[in-house]
Amino acid sequence: MKNKFLFLSIVILLSNLLASCESSTNPPGNTITVAPSPTLFVVNEGNFGSQNSSLDAVLFKSDSGKTDTIINHNVISKMGEGNDILIMANHVLVLDNGSNALYVVSADSLNTLATISFGLDAPNKMALISSNLLLVTRRNASSAAIVDLTKNAIVDSIPIGGASIAVAVINNKAYITSGDSEYTGPFHLNVVNLSIDQVEKTLPLPQSPEQAIVDSTNGDVIIGTATDYASVGPKFYFVNTSSDAITDSLSVGSVNDDAELTTGGKHFIILNQYVYPLSGPTHTLPNPLINAGKTLFYKGFYNAASNDLYAGEYNFNIANGKVDVYDGMTGAFKWSFTTGIGPAHFAFYQ
């Protein structure tokens, strides 16, 4: 009897522990799952200079029309400032600008497999340039680094002549934005031939170019420049990847605004409480798809497989941030979940 009582106690304890894992904001369902499964990874930027940036993993499982989730908080914790994320095969690459490091995480076990140091170079953004080579921009160096992911080491660099900021890669070319120093101009877009790792063309940009995103549908690279908080608001430039020329631009918001372009399979512009679809060759701002009222957004991600648009709320004053999920076609609200401070960068493993 004593053994039977002990066995029942253990079963009850395990059941309670599993039940406690499910988020109160989950969609309906009653099955808890662990990796490997479709997983959304969220990098929370944290408060600048506070070492409270983090990585969360949101695991999904569908069963009989229901979706269940389990949120793994602090897969990585105490980062300086997580600033970018990529999926490569079953690895998650997380770039930490504040701690000068690149973390390689297993998307299945959620364990950190390697940490690559960048000294004091302030690694900023990254893009894959082959199956095992990663290009990483550096705000505190005059070149962009090339990382061999089979060796987990920096093996080469591309001279830029100033601080490298954002990067997009398409058609064996890298489009790298730069400034004279870490946050000051003059600013440029550098077109790099990846066959020889050399800059072949340089275009001037008037403001700090913080974003570079491939728009494969229209054959463009979109460069997002930040407001100067004085006379010029945020602006997006459209670069034709055949001619490597800036063919159009779109001004968004005022000098007090932060406009962000979402990542993922389809692009949207986030501006305060509004989300605008960005499509077609005209590059005009249509009516907003989403108006969140008093809720302000920061950055976002679109997952084409589920047609979900993930928007991180702009809030750096509380311990837990929040991500809202919308239908990417209609803008209808679906659900939300809690993450770390300042949810900003997203990648989907599926």
d(CA 137, CA 167): 7
Q: Is 118-255 assigned to CATH 1.10.3720.10?
A: no
The mean per-residue pLDDT over the stretch 135-148 comes to 98
Residue 218 burial (CB count, 10 A):
16
What would the pLDDT profile of 56-83 be if each residue is shown by its tens digit? 999 987 666 666 788 999 999 999 999 9
Residues 300-330: pLDDT tens digits? 999 999 999 999 999 887 678 999 999 999 9
- pLDDT tens readout for residues 212-226: 999 988 889 999 999
265 pLDDT tier (thresholds 50, 70, 90): confident
pLDDT of residue 60: 86
Mean pLDDT over residues 164-193, rounded? 96
133's torsion region: left (phi>0), alpha (psi -120 to 50) or beta? beta
The pTM assigned to this predicted structure is 0.88
Confidence of residue 182 (pLDDT cuts 50, 70, 90): confident
pLDDT-based confidence at residue 280 (cuts at 50, 70, 90): low
Least confident of 32-46, 103-117, 185-199, 227-241: 32-46
Coil, strand, or helix at residue 271? strand
Whether residue 11 is predicted with pLDDT greater than 70 in this model: the reply is no
Q: Can you give the pLDDT at residue 216?
A: 87
pLDDT of residue 228: 86
CA distance 222 to 155: 28
Is 32's pLDDT higher than 50?
no
As a whole number, mean pLDDT of residues 127-146 equals 97
pLDDT at 14: 37
